[in-house]
């Protein structure tokens, strides 16, 4: 899985994974979030616009990233999930914890 990482402010990282966020890609996402947090980017946005599949491993990576960010005093938010990803979030009741934002660049505008 390819993950494009952008900075959006002093402490915000936008991560843009491409492909399937499954058992094979989950580790890469966890590692990329950890690098961002260690680098002082405690507020992370995972832009799911180019993720075409999410399974329980990918969901676990998102939750692990959320925990890492919160332990560092920040937060993890998601943006632009497709229908399949949104369905996984709804079926697992994770949409209450991982609230989706329409676009990554506006996830921390509140």
Percentage of residues in the chain with pLDDT exceeding 70?
100
pLDDT band at 99 (very low <50, low <70, confident <90, very high): confident
What residues make up the domain containing 54? Answer: 2-102
pLDDT band at 9 (very low <50, low <70, confident <90, very high): confident
Whether the Cβ atoms of residue 20 and residue 6 lie closer than 8 Å to each other: no
Asked, for residue 83, whether it belongs to a domain, the answer is yes
Prediction pTM value: 0.94
The total domain count for the chain is 1
Asked, for residue 42, whether it belongs to a domain, the answer is yes
Asked, for residue 108, whether it belongs to a domain, the answer is no
Dump the DSSP string for 44-76: EEEE-TTEEEE-HHHHHHHHHHHHHHHHTT-EE
Asked, for residue 15, whether it belongs to a domain, the answer is yes
**CATH code, 37:** 3.30.750.24
Asked, for residue 109, whether it belongs to a domain, the answer is no
Asked, for residue 107, whether it belongs to a domain, the answer is no
Asked, for residue 79, whether it belongs to a domain, the answer is yes
């Amino acid at each position: 899985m390819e993950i494009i990482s952008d900075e959006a402010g002093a402490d915000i990282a936008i991560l843009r994974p491409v492909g399937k966020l499954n058992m094979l890609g989950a580790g890469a996402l966890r590692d990329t979030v950890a690098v961002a947090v260690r680098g002082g980017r405690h507020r992370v946005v995972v832009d799911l616009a180019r993720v075409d599949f999410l399974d329980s491993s990918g969901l676990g990576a998102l939750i692990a990233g959320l925990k890492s960010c919160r332990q560092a005093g920040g937060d993890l938010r998601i943006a632009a999930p497709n229908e399949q990803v949104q369905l996984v979030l709804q079926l697992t009741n994770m949409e209450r914890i991982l609230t989706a934002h329409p676009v990554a660049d506006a996830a921390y505008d509140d």
